Chain A
Amino acid sequence: MPRLLSRVLLSLAIIFIVFPGSASAQEASCAPDSRITEQFDNGAVWDLCWESRIRENLVLSDVHYTPPAGEPLRVLSSARLSQLHVAYDDSDVTYNDVTQFGLGGGFLLTLSAEDCPDGELLIIQSRPALCKWRSTAESGIQTANQTAKTQSLHLFSISQVGAYAYITSWTFYANGAMEPGIGATGALQRSGDDTSLPYGRVLEGDPDTLWLSHTHSYYWRLDFDLGDSAVDDVFTQTRYELTSAGTRAQRVEQFTTEQALRINPTEQVNWTIQADASTDSPAYVIEPIRSGHRFQRIDVEPHTDFDFFVTVANDCERFASQNARFNPDCLNDVLQFVDGQSIENQDLVVWNRVSFHHVPRNEDQRHMHTHWDGFVMKPRNVLTGTDGISDQANQAPMITPLDDRITKLDDPVHENLTATDANGDLILYTASGLPSGVSLNSQGHMHGTTDTQGSYSVTITALDDQSESTTTFQWTVNETGVARRKSGSTTLIGLAFLVASVAIRRRANLAVIRDTQH
């Protein structure tokens, strides 16, 4: 037995040496007071470790998500804000707040119950400085029968850097989405005496001061380790290319080397990190929605020409800019980190920038109202269906079958379709194949005027929140509204065939019920 045990341990040691990046889908491993495990009403669990560092402040690690009735999924090895770049419009001063000052240590504010009214205060270096609270999010689902908002876990701390107070925030949703954010509040930082300059605004009651406009660029560093292995994640860029016909065709590009990329609103580009190369593996999608401001100052800071970066994980690469300030043997900024390395079978890190241009207004005196920035990472292939609805018991609606019909061209149509639902759900109706000029509204009113002759195969679907039933029938529109005769009289054989075909069609017209639950 001892020999067997030693062989097993040796095998495990070999596996660990051969596959140093492998990470099993286990729970977060850290001291109990640095670990947060949050279970939601839907059964989903977020589990993570946290710490506060002098520069970055909140650093999350070993982030796992367990979907409702699912297995834990390792999502992130680590996640943090990696720079807070502030450039003033007069270009005289630029701050890199994370590396020049820091968001942790002495810059971290002690929080009180008023700062965290509905949550729990956690201790950072012997003082309450992290707020953890639960809420109902603004996102969810809306059907004809219910409104359901997903639950969310919020973590935030606040750092006072100069006049600004920055709220570093992370939100984890019960449906698997994640949202890093920054709230900027406090007071305006920089001003000038020359009020004639066009780089800011003079605010009411302070005629001799020009408060300077400026851009905040927030950079997040996200070390994804999706799934069981840290080294098989795949990064793709998806474009939706506009064709001359007016359609949009999806184009997916899998990258094999490190990348620096720009937001591309025209081609509706988004970015995906997948657990492995299979298209149905768990993934997270980032849609660059906050695309209204693009900061760039390429000649002095070339990295500002890009919004999104993918690099191979390297502990030496901590900050998006001024990285060498604390790591003299390392490269200095995120664009330099993109140096052509292969990202195949490597541990991937993505860096995402969001920018906001702040034009001072009277209301910024004396203290600014919080301005929030951030982005959402949406899960894909992580849940088994819509959160909050796919696990509910449900019976499909029953639609009343419709007979084949022949109607006259230009005849008006007004008909209310009917269906029943054992759960009492409101039923919605859709149709395909209706004659030209006729439409069906969502509550089952079929209406219009047939304007084109023809034979139409019509499918009507009645849906509740989870399932549906369909009925099909043949609708002929002609000039007379009666069946055409091919010859002067119907023969007995022909009549028999007609009766048989009608019987067969009637049988086919029985409603088909499909329960889309699983």
Chain B
Amino acid sequence: MKNKTHTALPAFKLLWLTPFLLVIVSLFIGQSARAQDTDCNDASVLQHTFASGASWSACAHVSEVHGLEVSHIAYRAPGDSSRSVMASVNVAQILLHYHDKANAEPQFSPSDSDTDDSVPSQTLRLNERTCDGEILGTDAQPDSFCSRIKNNRILAKFGQTPSLQSEAWEVYSVMLRESLTWNISWTFTEDGQIRPRVSVSGRPSRTQLDSQFSQNARNDIPRLTRASVLATWRLVPAMDTDAPDRIEQFDFPLDVAQGNRRAMQITPITQEALLQVEREQFRGWRIIDTTGAGYYMDPANQGYSYASNEYDWANYDVAITRYDACEQYASGNITSNDNGTCGAHLNDYVNAESLTDEVPVFWYSQSRQLTPGIEDWPVLSDVQIGFDLLPFDWTATSPFEVVE
């Protein structure tokens, strides 16, 4: 399925079109779609339609410190209306923990302002060598993110009927910190999946003589220090209707006495909590609207466990909190706002507050390793961290039927 359109214009340039667009949208699909009549403010309006008719729309903004942040995300399955999925998503922190150090280095540093030039990380201004798609940006952040279409391989196959092929749409920005690059990417697949991803590359520059903590890449360069990376994402759902979403934990514990059966247990998360992946129980989480439509987060590629003496929240895989606009980042958060003070990090946000009739926020962390070898000199072959958010009862059946 080849792409039909994908556009990105600063929101204000589209404002004069809004009344016309609304009329056109209502004529063609009969329902209003929240993302399409939402003002992106200073963010870019993004939209992509696949050949199947599936489409995504969103607002995108690149924070100088925190990379690409996407909001007002809506998905339209073929034959369906455009329906809101997420209010906003962002990478909430990246901890880079060199193995010879006691503590991690947060890659998103504390800052009172995104424009404060005292922060040691920057967004890369993209060009044709660093973006193999369309270079996009806002007036404030020109050329700050890249949009491209990817092959998503076989979507479905059954018997001798021809395969359904599919595509995915990716937007990403690149953040520079010291000599490393952090690619912050959001992929939206034709069948409604959201794939957040962080990948690290760039020049390895930390060295260490002690072989317990370092790797000998080549004899003519100093030993390169190994590191663990913990990426944490913040997802603010806005599934389907305006009603606050709920988050449920799915467990499938093994019952040996019952002949190794695994009964599904669904536990509503009713108050703020820090949670762990449980591999033996196949634990996962569903974000669900009152209509029953939702998305499932299965930590299948959880990777390694991370441990921190400094950040207690980093010892957990998942946190669920009540939405608070000023709780943006897992650590290094802006600690003051107009209404008083915000927490500095994720532990401050988890206070056992009730989630009933409140907008929940889902925080998820994954860890990988950097063990630079000869194939990583002079540039690290990228290490990717990411997961899939899967539509779960979003539609009554697959909107992509294989024709028999």
Task: Show the binding face of A for B, using Cβ within 8 Å.
Answer: 87, 89-91, 109-110, 112, 114-115, 117-118, 135, 138-147, 149, 158, 160, 165, 167, 175-176, 183, 185-187, 198-201, 204-205, 213, 215, 240, 242, 245-250, 263, 265-266, 268, 270, 279-280, 287, 289-294, 296-297, 299-300, 356-357, 359, 361-370, 372-373, 378-387, 389-390, 426, 428, 430, 439-443, 445, 447-448, 461, 463, 465-468, 516-518
Q: Please determine whether B176 and A443 come into contact, CB atoms closer than 8 angstroms.
A: yes
In the complex the two chains form, is B398's CB within 8 Å of A369's CB?
Answer: yes
Q: Cβ of B158 and Cβ of A199 under 8 Å apart?
A: no
20 contacts between A and B (CB under 8 A): A91-B259, A135-B151, A141-B380, A144-B176, A205-B396, A213-B252, A250-B99, A263-B279, A268-B305, A289-B302, A289-B303, A291-B279, A365-B398, A366-B397, A369-B155, A383-B375, A389-B378, A390-B378, A441-B119, A445-B117
Question: What number of A-B contacts does a CB cutoff of 8 Å give?
Answer: 321
Q: A246-B308, A365-B398, A387-B375 are in contact. List 13 more A-B contacts (CB 8 A).
A: A91-B261, A139-B382, A144-B202, A249-B213, A265-B304, A266-B304, A287-B369, A289-B301, A290-B300, A364-B398, A383-B375, A442-B177, A467-B378
279-320 of chain B: CB within 8 A of chain A = 279-280, 282, 284, 296, 298-305, 307-310
Q: Is B402 an interface residue (CB 8 A)?
A: yes
* CB closest chain-B residue, reference A365: B397
Given contacts A296-B254, A362-B395, A428-B176, contact A386 B261 (CB under 8 A): no
Contact B377 A385 (CB under 8 A): yes
* Cα A117 to Cα B199 with chains together (Å): 29
Q: Do the beta carbons of A142 and B201 come within 8 Å of each other?
A: yes
Q: Which residue of B lies closest to A154 (CB)?
A: B153
**Nearest residue, chain A, Cβ from B283:** A292
Q: Which of B121, B174, B375, B402 contacts A441 (CB 8 A)?
A: B121
- In B170-200, the 8 Å CB interface with A consists of 174, 176-179, 181, 183, 191-192, 199
Q: Are A359 and B398 in contact (CB under 8 A)?
A: no
**Chain B residues in 8 Å Cβ range of A296:** 254, 280
Which of A287, A387, A426, A516 is within 8 Å of B221, CB to CB? A516
Q: Which residues of A are found within 8 Å of B218, using beta-carbon distances?
A: 518
| A426 and chain B: residue at smallest CB distance | B124
The smallest beta-carbon distance between A185 and chain B, in angstroms, is 5
A-facing mask of B60-78, CB < 8 A → 1, else 0?
Answer: 0000000000000000000
Measured CB to CB, the closest approach of chain A to B130, in angstroms, equals 5
Please give me the 10 A-B residue pairs with the lowest Cβ-Cβ distance, nearest first: A114-B162, A246-B102, A198-B263, A357-B282, A142-B201, A294-B279, A89-B262, A292-B302, A441-B120, A292-B299
Check: B338 CB closer than 8 A to any chain A CB. no
A291 to B132, CA, bound (A): 32
Q: How far is the CA of A367 from the CA of B390 in the complex (A)?
A: 16
Do the beta carbons of B163 and A248 come within 8 Å of each other? no
Q: Which of A118, A167, A266, A383 has a CB less than 8 Å from the CB of B157?
A: A167
**B230 CB, nearest partner CB in chain A, Å:** 12
A466-B157 in contact given A205-B397, A249-B212, A442-B178 (Cβ < 8 Å): no
A246 to B102, CA, bound (A): 4
Of all chain A residues, which has the CB nearest B266?
A: A198
Q: How far is the CA of A19 from the CA of B85 in the complex (A)?
A: 63
Contact A297 B118 (CB under 8 A): no
B205 part of interface (Cβ distance < 8 Å): yes
Chain B residues, CB < 8 A from A362:
392-397
Shortest CB distance B390–A (Å) = 7
Partner pick for B381 among A175, A205, A266, A279, CB 8 A cutoff: A175
Of the candidates A263, A363, A448, A516, the one having the most CB atoms from chain B within 10 angstroms of its own CB is A363
Interfacial residues of chain B within 85-108, with CB under 8 A of chain A in the complex: 97, 99-103
How far apart are B312's CB and chain A's nearest CB, in angstroms? 13
B111-139 vs A, CB cutoff 8 Å, 1 = contact: the mask equals 00000011111101000011110000000
Contacts of B129 in A (CB 8 A): 145-147
Report B268 CB to chain A, min CB distance, Å. Answer: 16
Contact of A115 among B154, B300, B368 (CB under 8 A): B154
Q: Is B159 an interface residue (CB 8 A)?
A: yes
B381 touching A380, Cβ below 8 Å: no
